[in-house]
Amino acid sequence: MAVAAGEAHTVLVGEDGSVFSFGKNVCGQLGTGDNVTTVIPTRVAGLPGAVRQVAAGNAHTGMVTDAGDLLVCGAGRNGQLGLEDEDERTTPTLVERAVFEGKAVLMVACGEEHTVVATEGGGVYTFGGGEDGQLGHGDEENQLAPRRVPAAGFNGERVVMVAAGDQHTVALSEAGRVFTWGSGEYGRLGHGDRENQRAPRQVEVGRFGGEGVVFVAAGGAHTVAVTAGGRLYSWGCGYFGQLGHGDTSHRLVPTVVGVGVFGRVVMAACGEIHTLVVTQEGALWVCGSGHYGQLGLNGKETWHVFQRVGASAFGGARVVAAAAGKIHSVAVTEAGALWTWGHGSFGRLGHGDDERRLVPNRVAAASLNNRKIGRCRSLPEDHVLAFTMGTHDRLGEASPVETMAGKPELVSMIARAGDRWVGGKAGESEGLIRLLGGVSADRRERYVQSIYCESTVPNRQPRHCRKCQVPH
């Protein structure tokens, strides 16, 4: 994502690839070259190039550059920086590409004290704490350097997305299949039991209603997934209602969250004991513990079913991305504005103090040097699902990436094609054909019409374009 929330710090990417961070910094996780806690966004200096994705763990941070390099900073006591030692780093430090077999890094995810990396070509590498098997190497040993998880663990499928909880790991293949490993406590792995898994194990396909999955996220001890049809599934610990099923029961297998509650879900984010959901319409829904105000509902209540955060909370703007820390939350609106709420200790909200916010408050644009959050740049090879991670922000004028945000089934189809979008504005054939490379001409034409016809009738199944009269 272009914004990330750790235990007590926040990291974000500006539209130009710059990085800002704020909050707790005792281990150097802000990347500012010192251990000084910062209560307002501070630009990270000295980066080797533009950054497109960031991740935040308990006390460490990962950054992926446009060139496909991985930068890390913060705590390293269990090897979670992948630098072959247990030292902390106060400035972003390069993890040599050679350890990834020369492959470009596409995505990084940070758990409590472990790190997961997806590379070009679909490889997965893990390092850091492995006491519950969350590294996926068949043991419970820590790893001080990146080590590849055997491809056989993913049935030979390429992985396009990874997520990291406190002690478990989730991977999503290009075919829409979900793999989990690590601690099985509370059923967070989704296999119908509470057993730890030391190597990747596929979650049964039938658990998702016959649909492929296009997005995954992991919290403290729970997991969520979004299917191609825009449905939300959750499982694992439900003590605080963070699963959204109306109770505090745990779920040992993926369970759909009230059909028809949200409309179409685009992405989700998991905190320690709360969950955020962003819909196609740009609405934000929340559930779980609100003790510290992290739900943004102007109270401290715990909610066992999802509640909508009113559009007025964001100045009437649509939400396009969200991140959840341990006890705080972050959202980005379509104009590139940053909003935060929840516990404010250590300045993790970026408002210049350590005060709690019970409703979303906009971080002053001036503190970000008037930069928008997120960018819309060319998709990395083999990573056409990047838009859902907030890597490509869906901000500003419409683009193929932006338009795809509300069409997870299309994204899933394109992911299987595995082609690369290399440019072209909305409606221009070059960018579009590249985006849809490998798709049959007939299907390509229908999807082109579906995306770019000037006028469509919403909420009709099937929808018919008034211009071309083709159902899609």
Q: Do residues 128 and 135 lie in contact, with contact meaning Cβ atoms separated by under 8 Å? A: yes
Give the residue ranges of the chain where pLDDT is below 70.
Answer: 375-472
Q: How far is CA 369 from CA 205, 333, 388, 435, in A?
A: 46, 17, 26, 33
Q: Do residues 430 and 406 lie in contact, with contact meaning Cβ atoms separated by under 8 Å? A: no
Q: Is residue 280 packed enough to be buried (19+ CB in 10 Å), middle (13-18) or exposed (0-12)?
A: middle
**Which one-letter DSSP state was computed for residue 277?**
E
State the pLDDT at residue 399: 41
Q: Label residues 119-140 b or e (16+ Cβ within 10 Å = b).
A: bbebbbbbbbbbbbbbbbbeee
State the pLDDT at residue 456: 34
Q: What contacts 98, CB < 8 A, 6 or more positions away?
A: none
Q: Count how many Cα atoms sit within 13 Å of the Cα of residue 124 in the half-sphere of its side chain.
A: 33
- Going from N- to C-terminal start, the domains of the chain cover 3-368, 397-472
Which secondary-structure segment (H or E) carries 444? helix 441-452
Token code pair at residue 470: 């083709």
* Domain 3-368, classified CATH 3.30.1130.10, yes or no: no
Token code pair at residue 220: 């403290």
> DSSP readout, 88-127?
-EEEEEEEPGGGGTTPPEEEEEE-SSEEEEEETTS-EEEE
State the pLDDT at residue 280: 86
In a 3-state reduction of DSSP, which class is residue 442?
Answer: helix
Amino acid at the residue 180: T
Phi, psi of 214 (to 5 degrees): -120, -5
State the pLDDT at residue 214: 86
| pTM for this prediction | 0.82
Condensed to tens digits (0 to 9), the pLDDT of residues 291-349 reads 999 999 999 999 999 999 998 999 999 998 999 999 999 999 988 999 999 999 999 99
Q: Label residues 284-297 b or e (16+ Cβ within 10 Å = b).
A: bbbbbbbbbbbbbb
Nearest to 8 by CA among 410, 244, 292: 292
C-alpha–C-alpha distance, residues 464 and 313, integer Å: 34
